[in-house]
């Protein structure tokens, strides 16, 4: 999983939706006003969620969208300008695949948005029982190629004038989103990464030591090609599904599957979940490091930067989580 910081995207439009708000607390001071930096712990905000649907007429698709946001008692938001994080789920997932992470970030003062991506909502991207190998390859190509347009559409919806509470737009969210502070947590990266960003895009790679579908060596190669500010941490005794909500359930379900074509070997290559780290350990690893990265990149928090520059591996070990920071990371 990669976590990046981005700049101001282009704004557009959206549609109405629903709101379920939870009790919260007073706003959290940013940066060094926090006496003890604790990214692994829940933040001071209660968490509210909004769900709505946005139509993309250009592609004839309707996307379910969910937004997690900080909330205060009796108030849907009221926390000032919010940095925005987009969570883009991986193949076979949906907008709620990592709700634990989205809620954690919201409890620390972020608005977090996730959508069901094109392969979930578009019939032509769903696999069929008689799909040939070339058809499957073309479909997977189309799924991956759709990620960037999907994320751009989501940002257009969220950063429209209506999303800021002036009516219409993204479900009338009434959230003051900051278009200059946008982060991305992608489950699938674009087909071709040239890294021709023209500026520094701070990037965090979180990898699993025993990831069968995406071996650690492949993530390391991508890390080595990434320019600018970058960090990488590896969760030991972890596989591909350790970044999701139901780690054990999804992992064992995949091990029991019979996959088609060139993926047929994957289930047998996966270790039983009993030989791997727990979901609780994985969630602590992901939520703490992701938050610290975003705090450093989007909030310019010196406390977060000091945390990431320190002995993160020892800090994780003290919490019962085994991790690695490869040399040069």
Give DSSP secondary structure letters for 50-92: EEEEEEETTTTEEEEEEEEEEEBTTBS--S-SEEEEEEE--TT
CA distance 301 to 306: 9
| pLDDT greater than 60 at residue 297 | yes
What are the domain boundaries of the chain? 2-324
Compute the half-sphere exposure of residue 96: CA atoms within 13 Å on the CB side of its CA: 6
- Residue 68 confidence (pLDDT): 95
Q: Output DSSP code: residue 244.
A: S
Per residue in 83-121, pLDDT (tens digit) is: 999 999 988 889 999 999 999 999 999 999 999 998 888
HEC string of 181-202?
Answer: EEEEEECCCCCCCCCCCCCCCC
Mean pLDDT of 266-295: 97
pLDDT band of 186, cuts 50, 70, 90: confident
Q: Which of the residue ranges 72-86, 198-212, 270-284 would you say has the lowest mean pLDDT?
A: 72-86
Top pLDDT among 229 and 261 is at: 229
User: By the 8 A CB rule, do 9 and 182 touch?
Assistant: yes
Structural tokens at position 233: 């941490």
Using CA atoms, how far residue 189 sits from 50, 134, 194, 214, in Å, is: 26, 22, 12, 12
The sign one gets for the Cα dihedral 45, 51, 57, 61 is positive
CATH homologous superfamily of 2-324: Alpha/Beta hydrolase fold, catalytic domain (3.40.50.1820)
User: What are the φ and ψ backbone dihedral angles of 44, each rounded to 5 degrees?
Assistant: -80, -5
pTM for this entry: 0.85
> 230-235 and 203-208: which strand pairing?
parallel
- Residue 3 confidence (pLDDT): 61
Using CA atoms, how far residue 315 sits from 1, 33, 100, 157, 266, in Å, is: 21, 22, 21, 39, 33
Mean pLDDT of 76-83: 67
Helix (H), strand (E) counts: the chain: 10, 10
pLDDT band of 290, cuts 50, 70, 90: very high
- Residue 1 confidence (pLDDT): 67
- In the chain, the percentage of residues whose pLDDT exceeds 90 is 61
Q: Counting Cβ atoms within 10 Å, is residue 98 exposed (0-12), middle (13-18) or buried (19+)? A: buried
User: By the 8 A CB rule, do 295 and 263 touch?
Assistant: no
Per residue in 4-21, pLDDT (tens digit) is: 655 433 222 223 333 333
pLDDT band of 201, cuts 50, 70, 90: very high
Q: Counting Cβ atoms within 10 Å, is residue 43 exposed (0-12), middle (13-18) or buried (19+)? A: buried
Mean pLDDT of 44-62: 92
- Residue 129 confidence (pLDDT): 82
């Amino acid at each position: 999983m990669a976590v990046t910081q981005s700049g101001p995207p282009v704004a557009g439009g959206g549609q109405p939706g629903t709101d379920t708000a939870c009790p919260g607390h007073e706003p959290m001071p940013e940066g060094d006003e926090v006496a003890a930096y604790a990214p692994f712990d829940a933040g001071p905000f209660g968490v509210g969620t909004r769900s709505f649907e946005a139509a993309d007429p250009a592609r004839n698709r309707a996307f379910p969208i969910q937004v997690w946001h900080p909330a205060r008692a009796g108030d849907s938001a009221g926390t000032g300008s919010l940095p925005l994080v987009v969570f883009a789920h991986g193949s076979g997932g949906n907008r709620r695949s990592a709700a634990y992470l989205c809620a954690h970030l919201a409890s620390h003062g972020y608005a977090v948005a996730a959508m069901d991506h094109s392969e979930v909502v578009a019939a032509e991207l769903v696999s069929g029982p008689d799909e040939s190998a070339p058809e499957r390859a073309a479909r997977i190509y189309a799924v991956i190629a759709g990620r960037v347009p999907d994320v751009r559409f989501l940002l257009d919806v969220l950063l429209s004038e209506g999303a800021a509470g002036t009516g219409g737009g993204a479900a009338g969210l009434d959230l003051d989103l900051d278009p200059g502070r946008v982060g991305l947590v992608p489950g699938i990266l674009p087909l071709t990464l040239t890294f021709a960003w023209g500026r520094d895009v701070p990037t965090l790679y979180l990898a699993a030591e025993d990831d069968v579908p995406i071996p650690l060596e492949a993530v390391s190669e991508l890390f080595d090609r990434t320019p600018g500010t970058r960090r990488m941490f590896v969760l030991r005794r972890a596989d591909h599904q350790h970044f999701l909500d139901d780690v054990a359930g999804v992992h064992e379900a995949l091990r029991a599957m019979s996959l088609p074509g060139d993926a047929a070997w994957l289930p047998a290559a996966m270790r039983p979940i009993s030989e791997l780290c727990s979901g609780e350990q994985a969630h602590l690893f992901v939520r703490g490091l992701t938050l610290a990265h975003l705090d450093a990149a989007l909030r310019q928090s010196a406390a977060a930067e000091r945390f990431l520059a320190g002995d993160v591996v020892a800090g994780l070990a003290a919490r019962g989580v085994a991790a690695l920071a490869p040399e040069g990371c």
